[in-house]
Amino acid sequence: MNKIIRSKDYNEIKYLIQNFSVTAILGPRQCGKTTLARDFKADHYFDLENPRDIARLDQPQLALENLNGLIVIDEIQRIPEIFPLIRYLVDNNPEQKYLILGSASSELIKQSSETLAGRIAYCYLGGFRLSDIGSDNLQTLWFRGGFPKSYLPATHRQSITWRENYITSFLERDLPQLGINIPANTLRRFWTMLAHYHGQVLNYSELGRSFGISDMKARTYIDILEGTFMVRLLQPWFNNTGKRLVKSPKLYLQDAGIFHSLQTINSMEQLLSHNKLGASWEGFVLENVCRSIGKRNHEFYFWKTHAGAELDLFWQHNGKNWGIEVKYHDAPTLSKSMKIACQDLELEALWVIYPGNSEYKIAENISALPLKNISDTWNYDLS
């Protein structure tokens, strides 16, 4: 398998290392954090899945205080108590820089941000970007997802086998190592059921009833999957239009390949005839677009009225409102919902992302944009 150069992510991390004492790369296991970190040729490397490195950090101050240069600590969520020491070390040794890697977000961010405030920057790493692999390979990226070991194999069968084993390993090994002791079969069935809610507004009570658990336990299970980068919860945007708005989040599985595995979709032909085709495309587009726009997850929203008008993605930038609508159509046209969203949300621009080849104007501030044409950095120029 050939190595794919991830220029956008590399350059972003390089910038953060130059400007902060500590840089954290956060993302799901096996998304390529370690491979990318090794590209920086660190002076010292600690992998907390390696028993020898765990032993070296048994007395962390003795191991770290006399080191200089770039120090990488991989899978740092295994020793969160090290954060106060890192704060002390970087405050007293300007020759030290830390690059820390983690695959569990919420608790790690809470602990590190409280301890390392003003010293740490975060980079969220997903799977391959479309720009990493080229637009000619868009369909393969969509079907297999962005995990390197899922995308890169020579055959779809190898990719499917890797994903099946990844799901099993994640449930049976990774979560217990994080101190999560939910039976693997229970969480697998719940995760599989969530795949049927992909792209839908969540109703925790309905979800709990369907699975035979309380709505609070359903929230706990979703929090676990969100905190380990397996699902995205897109929160609703509220505005003062006087209309009744949907106020529950939408749920997406973050990686298209994992979604397809949980749906037992084993070929592109099956996907193209599946009743979840539109939902699959929507989730895949949103992940790629959100990374192109480059904002944090909590800065993205969707908007939906009880009367049926909706917008798949909404965000604010430079004091203006912007929107995305996702369509699996040959040639999207203007809809009533688009006009209402533009008016009610006072959108500066609305892009309709679709799988075609041509960019074109739909209305004055609405344009159709092929997914393959999005860039690493979002282009706000609609002219």
Sign (positive or negative) of CA dihedral 330, 334, 336, 339: positive
Whether 107 shows a pLDDT value over 70: the answer reads no
| Position 252 confidence tier, pLDDT thresholds 50, 70, 90 | very high
Provide CB contacts within 8 A for 77, sequence distance 6+: 102, 103, 104, 107, 108, 178
Does 241 reside within a domain?
yes
pLDDT at res. 349 = 97
pLDDT at res. 381 = 80
Euclidean distance between the first and the last CA atom of the chain, given in angstroms as a whole number = 41
Cα separations in angstroms, 353 against 96, 268, 330? 44, 20, 11
Give kind and range of the element (H or E) at residue 208.
helix 204-211
Instruction: Tell whether 210 and 307 lie within a shared domain.
Output: yes
- Cα gap 145→138, rounded to integer Å: 10
For residues 112 and 24, is the Cβ–Cβ distance under 8 A?
A: yes
| Position 188 confidence tier, pLDDT thresholds 50, 70, 90 | very high
What's the helix, strand, coil split of the chain in %, to 5? Answer: 45, 20, 35
pLDDT at res. 239 = 79
Region 7-28 average pLDDT: 96
For residues 76 and 103, is the Cβ–Cβ distance under 8 A?
A: no
Instruction: Tell whether 107 and 138 lie within a shared domain.
Output: no
pLDDT at res. 110 = 75
Whether 151 shows a pLDDT value over 80: the answer reads yes
Domain count, the chain: 2
Does 379 reside within a domain?
no
- Cα gap 106→111, rounded to integer Å: 9
**Structural domain of residue 49, as residue ranges?**
7-124
Each residue of 45-66: pLDDT tens digit? 999 999 999 999 999 999 999 9
Structure token pair of residue 347:
């959108």
pLDDT at res. 382 = 65
Instruction: Tell whether 272 and 233 lie within a shared domain.
Output: yes
Instruction: Tell whether 119 and 136 lie within a shared domain.
Output: no
Each residue of 299-325: pLDDT tens digit? 999 999 999 899 999 999 999 999 999
Instruction: Tell whether 275 and 201 lie within a shared domain.
Output: yes
Whole-number mean pLDDT of the chain? 94
**Strand duo 120-124 + 200-201: pairing:** unpaired
Instruction: Tell whether 314 and 193 lie within a shared domain.
Output: yes
Each residue of 326-378: pLDDT tens digit? 999 999 999 999 999 999 999 999 999 999 999 999 999 999 999 999 988 89
pTM greater than 0.75 (yes/no): yes
- Residue length, the chain? 383
